[in-house]
Amino acid sequence: MNVALLQQLAAQSQISHSPPENWQQKLQDLLSCEVRLDEPLRRYSWMKVGGNADALVAPDHIEELQKILKFASENHLHWMVLGFGSNVLIKDGGIRGIVIRLHKLFQQFDILEEDDTTCYVKVGAAYPLPKLVDWAKEKGCQNIEVLYGIPATLGGALWMNAGTRAGEIEQFVESITVLRAEGGFKDYPKEKLDFSYRHLKFPGKGLITACQLKFVKTDPEKVKEKVQGYQLKRQSTQPLDQPSLGSIFKNPPQAFAAQMIDEIGLKGVRVGGARISEKHANFIVNENNASAKDVLTLISLMKDKVKEHFDERLELEIKVVGEDV
């Protein structure tokens, strides 16, 4: 096959897989739910950084959500779900395609079965994790303290396998329900789920809509005491009064990212409006209208210096999405 023909086929492929120029208006005409075009995503970021989304949609019933996924597939558009935006760094160029917020859907909380020792619940993916933790604390659910203080939806917590070294959300999971990208719902039992450090993988593609959880009950006062201990520790060691994304890096095996960053003297280093927290070296805070570029510059500095001093390659815990300006 000659080069000219290869170039022609490549050009045709690119054209056929490009969304139509007026897709945003078509999406708006298709849906009856809230659709915001060129929406600033810093409004939805825990750290208050990020560029615009081509389209941000908030479906208020399942049929609208299914229309969105079908429209995205037919028009070759990227889509993603954004929950609390607490562990996602959105680049300054924003996100091309469709950003979906599910706060008007999947807020259900149902107790399926309960006795003196065990409780089974089914919870929607958009249900706030702090609200779930408060309920579980009052019930006396063992080990729920490992999820205390994490500002996330349940769906986001599942995707990240949120938790601490003392435990992660996977220990409570019985099954998850997924709306598949090709349509229809599917339940995945825990044995079909691949949980790892700050990550969840399941067969196929789709978005999480609900999760069935199992809690083992104990004395509620003991649980409340443990949660209070976690609360005091977070308040004393983390910059909770400033916009951040939580821990930037995963902890390497047998080490702590914050300790290494602290030991090489990077606490308090500032780039633009972003600063490495003086309270917790694995946090970057938005001190003065920071850009995502400011944050990424600090991340690169931290990674480079830790590699230079400790020969340790830090791995991001946060997710970085979007495009540069």
Find the catalytic residue in 45, 247, 277, 291: 247
Phi first, then psi, for residue 240 (nearest 5°) are -70, -15
Helix/strand/coil percent split, the chain, to 5: 35, 30, 40
Per the annotation, the verdict on 247 as an active-site residue is yes
In a 3-state reduction of DSSP, which class is residue 60? coil
Is 300 labeled as catalytic in the residue annotation?
no
Q: What CA–CA distance (Å, rounded) separates 176 from 161?
A: 13
Q: In terms of DSSP bridges, do strands 199-201 and 194-196 run parallel, antiparallel, or are they unpaired?
A: antiparallel
With CA atoms as reference, report the closest residue to 158 among 110, 210, 118, 215.
210
Indicate which residue of 86, 198, 244, 291 is catalytic.
198
If you write DSSP's letter for every residue of 244-302 in order, what string do you get? B-S-SBPPPTTS-HHHHHHHTT-TT-EETTEEE-SS-TT-EEE-SS--HHHHHHHHHHH
Q: Rounded to whole angstroms, how far apart are CA atoms 181 and 287?
A: 39
Considering the candidates 64, 145, 168, 317, report the single residue annotated as catalytic.
317
Q: Is 198 a catalytic residue?
A: yes
* Residue 323, φ and ψ in degrees, nearest 5: -125, 155
Q: Which long-range contacts (CB under 8 A, 24 or more apart) does 284-289 make?
A: 284/244, 284/245, 284/248, 285/239, 285/242, 285/243, 285/244, 286/47, 286/48, 286/49, 286/242, 286/243, 286/244, 287/242
Q: Please identify every residue annotated as catalytic.
A: 198, 247, 317
